[in-house]
Amino acid sequence: MTDSGFTRRDALALGAGMAALGGAGRARAQAPAEVKVALLAPISGPWARQGLLMKMGAEMAIDDINASGGIRSLGGARMRLVVYDAGDSTEKAKNAAQRMVAQEPDLAGGTGAWLSSFTLAVTEVTERAELPWLTLSYADSLTSRGFRYIFQSSPTNDNQAIAVLPTLMALAERATGKKPTRLGLISDSTASPQSFVRPVRATEAAKYGLRIVVDETFTPPLSDATPLIQKVRSARPDFLLFIATNVPDDKLVMEKLNEYGLGQAKLPTIGNGGHMAVPELVQLTSPEILEGLMVCMANWPGKDQEALTRRFVERTKEPWMGHDSIFPYAHMMIFREAMERSGSADRNKVAEAIRGFDIRNEGPALFFPSKRLKYDARGRLEDAQLVTVQWKSGVPQLVDPPSMATAAAYWPKG
């Protein structure tokens, strides 16, 4: 696209493309080249399920791209996904990244590694290898290190905290006709929830006239949610923000809320992050227990992506397509777009192309809630928006923003 440099590689690609277009029929010599992109995600260990969901999304994108003719500006080059296992620790994730950059010198880019601390470590490697890296991780620190090759496609934690309250206030007011005033907070002590609740405590709650009436922090894994929920019940908040990081803790808190008669949105409860909208959660609890639970997060396929979701379900036999699969799908589409525009699989050119993106309402931008794709100088997605899903009859339905919603939000009239 913007790049004017014409390298030998481009020439070859162009040559191959010309040959493919105008060449003599099905000549073998011009078999399109292959471009490699990586997925580095936890495929083993406690986060393996998330990694597998990511893999499903990425693989589907790759198949879609190849079925529609590969990278046209590279003569129909096929995209190939290489998968690396981030394992269960920061150290393993970093080692896997090192292995990836050493063994795949011709990578055009990659995505991963789900958990913010893994992504932090992995991008220390990819940055030094000048490999463009797209990530769904939320931590602010990812894009405050002055790195040039990281692109963060979700609103950062700070921004999520800032974005979530007005959305909820609007939802509540629309449903009940009055503004809530009492806020409850439960969060676990790990990095991501803490950076989420920090701005809520400091400025955001006050900004919307909310008083924090209960504020509990626990260290995962939770063994018993009773003391937490007792405090919540006696403090009587108008709604509860419940910011955790894993399915078992989600289960305990949701079950306890039901046990205390606060479930099924009698106390509107809002969680954060993809783990609160995975099929396992409903398998471990029940549709009744989760009924009405809202979850805000960085992405979810809405009604405009119903065809995509349907194909995904058919292909994978998963009950729905969610946060962890739509992101890698979108990221693969971004790589294709970048390669189309730069006419190159060279990692520096791909990165340069991504930096130059300003796409609205078309191409890979369609896979993001804001329908806009532009990364700022730090690598953060501009105008990144949150979506809210709500559990209804055992299925998470997108309820906000209204333009993408597959169902209307339910907020008890109190």
Partner 1 sequence: MRPGALPRLRRDALIFAGLLAAYLLFSGIVTNSYYQLMLTLVPVWAVVGLSWNLFSGYVGLISFGHAVFFGLGAFAVALSMSLYDLNPWLGILAGTVVGALAAVLIGLPTFRLRGHYFALSMLAFPLVLLYVFQFLGWQEVSLPMKRQEPLLWLQFTDPRGYTWVALGLLAIAFGISLAVENSRFGLTLMAIRQNELAAEASGINLRRWKMMALVLSGAIAAAAGGFYACILLVVTPEAVFGMLTSAQALTVALFGGVGTVWGPLIGAAVLIPLAETLHAELGNIIPGIQGVVYGVAIILVMLLAPEGIFWTLRDRWARLAAPPPPRPRIPAPLRIATAGGAGPLLKVSGLTKNFGGLRAVDDISFEVAPGEILGIIGPNGAGKTTLFNLLNGVLPSDSGTAWLDGQALGGRKLHAICRMGVGRTFQVVRSFPRLPLLDNVLIGAYGAGLTGAAATAAAEDALARVGLLHQAGQPAGQLTNKGLRLMELARALAGQPHLLLLDETLAGLGREECDEVLTVLRRLREAGMTIVIIEHTMHAMLKLADRFVVIDRGRLLASGPPREVVEDPAVIEAYLGRKWLAKTCSK
25 binds partner 1 (CB under 8 A): no
Q: Which residues, numbered 55-84, are part of the site for partner 1 (CB under 8 A)?
A: 83-84
CA 397 to chain centre: 16
45 binds partner 1 (CB under 8 A): yes
107 binds partner 1 (CB under 8 A): no
CA 135 to chain centre: 8
Strand order through the sheet with 395-400: 211-218, 182-188, 239-243, 269-272, 294-297, 387-392, 395-400
Helix (H) or strand (E) run with residue 108 in it: strand 107-112
Which position among 5, 18, 80, 145 is part of the footprint of partner 1 (CB under 8 A)?
145
Q: Which residues pair with 152 in a beta bridge?
A: 135, 380
Which position among 190, 201, 246, 363 is part of the footprint of partner 1 (CB under 8 A)?
190
Which position among 101, 240, 295, 332 is part of the footprint of partner 1 (CB under 8 A)?
101
* Nearest distance in Å: CB 24, partner 1: 40
Based on the number of CB atoms within 10 Å of its own CB, is 402 exposed (0-12), middle (13-18) or buried (19 or more)?
Answer: exposed
Which position among 16, 35, 37, 43 is part of the footprint of partner 1 (CB under 8 A)?
43
Q: How many CB atoms lie within 10 A of CB 144?
A: 13
* Nearest distance in Å: CB 88, partner 1: 9
96 binds partner 1 (CB under 8 A): yes
Report residue 5 as tokens: 């440099």
* Nearest distance in Å: CB 172, partner 1: 31
102 binds partner 1 (CB under 8 A): yes
The phi-psi region of residue 340 (left if phi > 0; otherwise alpha if psi is between -120 and 50; otherwise beta) is alpha
Q: Which residues, numbered 340-359, are part of the site for partner 1 (CB under 8 A)?
A: none
Helix (H) or strand (E) run with residue 182 in it: strand 182-188
Binding residues for partner 1, total number by CB under 8 A: 37
> Of 21-29, 140-148, 168-176, 328-336, which segment contacts partner 1 by CB under 8 A?
140-148
Whichever of 141 and 176 has its CB closer to partner 1, that residue is 141
